[in-house]
Amino acid sequence: QRLQAEIAKRQQELAEARVEASAGGGMVLAVVSGHGELVELHLSPEVLAEGDVELVEDLILAAVKEAQAKAKKLAQETMSELTGGMPPGMLP
């Protein structure tokens, strides 16, 4: 019972957490929640001035993927603190 409450608390903390990653020397900044959901995307005026749509798309994808990978690692670390490394699905 107490473990389930603590897991729910950690899940809420992850939902509120923000993880950032940038690409192109900071021209693109992606911010995701601790669950990996994209919540913000910032593009510098310089990257748009380039006029290279394919470059912008690649930078966005790179920043989002990196931020999601960081969020996944954060979630794994957060939950493994509670579960002692038990595999998912082993908890009630």
Mean pLDDT of 9-32: 95
- Amino acid identity of residue 15, one-letter, is A
CA–CA–CA angle 51, 54, 59 (5° rounding): 95
This prediction's pTM? 0.82
Structural domain boundaries in the chain: 2-83
What is the CATH code for 2-83? 3.30.1310.10
SS3 67: helix
Asked if pLDDT for residue 88 goes beyond 60, the answer is: no
